[in-house]
């Protein structure tokens, strides 16, 4: 006889008036929707419930939640190219001149 378990449901503990908790709940909700494993969903429920009861800090919550999230955020610096105003004016005038005579 196989023991059937009831599927894990998403906890509805969101508190929109508390901004930090609301953002944490949105991250939890997104991770919960992305993962289909019952064990993973149970762990996610434990994470958000420990945060809501005050047993875990936000730092601990996000640290533990990061392993379940699929999107990774990487910050890269991009090179900004600049040019002198005079060079920009000359190139703009050339573009306008070409556009005027190509009609």
- Give the three-class secondary structure for 88: helix
Q: Is residue 79 part of a domain?
A: no
pLDDT at position 77, please? 80
CB-based contacts of 56, cutoff 8 Å, min separation 6: 47, 50, 64
Per-residue pLDDT 10s for the chain (103 aa) are 445 567 778 888 888 888 999 999 999 999 999 888 889 999 999 999 999 998 999 999 999 998 888 766 667 788 887 888 999 999 999 999 999 888 6
Domain boundaries, position 40: 15-71
Reported residue count of the chain is 103
- Give the three-class secondary structure for 48: helix
Among the listed residues 11, 66, 68, the one whose alpha carbon sits nearest the alpha carbon of residue 39: 68
pLDDT at position 45, please? 92
If one counts the domains in the chain, the total is 1
pLDDT at position 70, please? 75
């Amino acid at each position: 006889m196989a023991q059937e378990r009831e599927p894990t449901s998403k906890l509805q503990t969101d508190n929109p008036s508390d901004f930090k908790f609301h953002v944490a709940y949105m991250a939890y909700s997104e991770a919960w929707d992305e993962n289909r494993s019952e064990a993973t969903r149970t762990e996610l429920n434990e994470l958000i419930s420990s945060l809501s009861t005050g047993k875990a800090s936000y730092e601990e919550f996000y640290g533990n939640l990061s392993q379940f999230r699929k999107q990774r955020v990487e910050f890269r610096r991009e090179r900004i190219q600049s040019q002198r105003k005079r060079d920009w004016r000359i190139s703009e005038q050339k573009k306008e001149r070409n556009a005027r005579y190509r009609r």
